[in-house]
Amino acid sequence: MFDKVLIANRGEIALRIVRACRELGVGSVAVYSDADATAPHAREADEAVHIGPSPSRESYLRADRLIDAARRTGAEAIHPGYGFLSERENFAREVVEAGLVFIGPPASAIAAVGSKTAARALAGTANVPVVPGTTEPLRSVHEASEAAQRLGYPVLLKASAGGGGKGMRVVRAAVELAGALEAAKREAMASFGDDAVYVEKYIAGPRHVEIQVLGDAHGTMLSLGERECSIQRRHQKMIEEAPSVAVSPELRRRMGETAVRMAKAAGYVNAGTCEFLLDANGEFYFLEMNTRLQVEHPVTELVTGLDLVQWQIRIAAGEKLPQQSAIAEPRGWAIECRITSEDAGNDFLPSTGVISFLRVPGGPGVRWDGGVGAGSEIGLHYDPLLGKLIAWGDTRDAAIARMRRALLELTIVGVETSRDFHLRVMDDAEFQRGAIDIQWLERRLPSLTAGGGMPEGEVAVAIAAALLAESERAGRLAAPPRGGTATTGGDGAWREAGLRDGLRSL
């Protein structure tokens, strides 16, 4: 096992990796930019190294500085987290060439599935179903027309260099094809500098269901079940859950075996995710493979009982995984809500400011993977994710009820957040029935982000929180309450500030 791991990331995932290291008895080295000098991940790690100015391109994206920090601190391995350099083949290669261990897949595996078209081609050789369509770019309107006739309308034009839904165009009839192809090529050239476009059968109203795979360096590749990720806004996941209401044990087995075949064909090692479209008939089609740990990994952890980040580190250190027969069917239900500094009541515009008060929910079955605290300055340098609230219950209904309770407890004063949006989703009848697909959120956004103040009773909490923050700032709470122990939060401080009584009277 390693003595020390450098965490080449920030925010909640960096703190998550610090925790995994600590439980393994492995030293943790955090890196931080100017803006993150007092960030929780830098404070909690055993060591912290300043790697540059706030802009990511001068800090978290600087491979040379990350590798240098690992060398200077004696870290033997680097964990990239997600985002930043986590899926860059060159970074994985540079880390290894520097004599360090990259906690993730081999660079060759990233190359094998990194581009969508390479992954589609590989899927074809591994008996992994992909959406019917062309793999090579279309060279003429005639070729496009022939392919579309063969596939049957509606078809979907996709930019080969595209991703995240950019450069896609639905064509519902032959008469639209020529114009749509020209527009798609123009947009692809403008967006990606590459006008290559291919065509697929359009799958209407599918679910986005992804399979977590985990492979060791000794040939074992496991499927850890599915995650339902259909609640997305502009291709940004908002709410994820495990398992999926649309996946039976038999379908889970089939999708799992398919994902394992894909990972093995790629020569994959460590944690990875195969994304699928699942249509209303239970047919599934491989979309792409993500060669990193995902934001939403906690829902899989909660229904499998596995610590995926510890396993990533253990696999990179050469440990062996158990066999698939040791992986049980998912137990209970887990739901994750991404709490972001976006104003859901204002088209999710980014919100900036200083967090003056943070109350994190707790109690049975509630997990907060957060990367901020009171005093955190929320700017525009980085992703707006403040933390992930995850709730586990015996059943999906229990998980929803628990998530609702936890969301009501969560209090963040100082920036607008997506919390109230999530509360509305938890209260939504269609969501509660699990009647969702990838277009559900776009269809329902107007009703889920309608104006209107805080949920009942929240105004009082917000006022009390602001008063408490002011009292703490004024130092009136610095001295421990008479006869009690010093408390900086919880009832003691509230009572001390007279807020509890005041709250009751509000």
Q: Is-catalytic flag, 120?
A: no
- Using CB under 6 A, which residues numbered 208 to 237 contact ligand MV4? 208, 232, 235
Rounded-to-integer distance, Cα 470 and Cα 439, Å: 43
Rounded-to-integer distance, Cα 213 and Cα 270, Å: 8
Q: What is the DSSP letter of 130?
A: B
The answer to the question of residue 287 lying near ligand MV4 (CB under 6 A) is yes
Nearest-5° Cα angle at 296, 291 to 300 = 95
The nearest distance, CB 453 to ligand MV4, in angstroms, is 31
The answer to the question of residue 199 lying near ligand MV4 (CB under 6 A) is no
- Using CB under 6 A, which residues numbered 405 to 464 contact ligand MV4? 438
Q: How many Å from the N-terminal Cα to the C-terminal Cα in the chain? A: 55
Q: Please identify, using beta-carbon distances, which residue of 68 and 283 lies nearer to ligand MV4.
A: 283
Q: Please identify, using beta-carbon distances, which residue of 203 and 335 lies nearer to ligand MV4.
A: 203
Rounded-to-integer distance, Cα 101 and Cα 124, Å: 31
From 387, 357, 360, select the one nearest 374 (Cα to Cα).
357
Which one of the listed residues 62, 292, 367, 424 is annotated catalytic? 292
The answer to the question of residue 131 lying near ligand MV4 (CB under 6 A) is yes
Assess contact for 260 and 214: CB atoms under 8 A: no
Q: Please identify, using beta-carbon distances, which residue of 156 and 436 lies nearer to ligand MV4.
A: 156
State which of residues 6, 111, 156, 334 lies at the interface with ligand MV4 (CB under 6 A): 156
Mark the segment that binds ligand MV4 (CB under 6 A) among 85-93, 178-186, 198-206, 219-227: 198-206
Site string for ligand MV4, 244-283 (x = CB under 6 A): ---------------------------------x------
For residue 264, which phi and psi values (nearest 5 degrees)? -65, -40
For residue 171, which phi and psi values (nearest 5 degrees)? -120, 120
State which of residues 70, 112, 151, 203 lies at the interface with ligand MV4 (CB under 6 A): 203
For residues 171-201, b (16+ Cβ closer than 10 Å) or e, as one string? beeeebbeebbeebbebbbeebeebbbbbbb
Mark the segment that binds ligand MV4 (CB under 6 A) among 92-100, 194-202, 211-219, 446-454: 194-202
Assess contact for 96 and 254: CB atoms under 8 A: no
Mark the segment that binds ligand MV4 (CB under 6 A) among 172-180, 200-208, 241-249, 252-260: 200-208
By CB under 6 A, name the binding residues for ligand MV4. Answer: 131, 156, 164-165, 200-203, 208, 232, 235, 277, 287-288, 438
- Catalytic residue list: 292
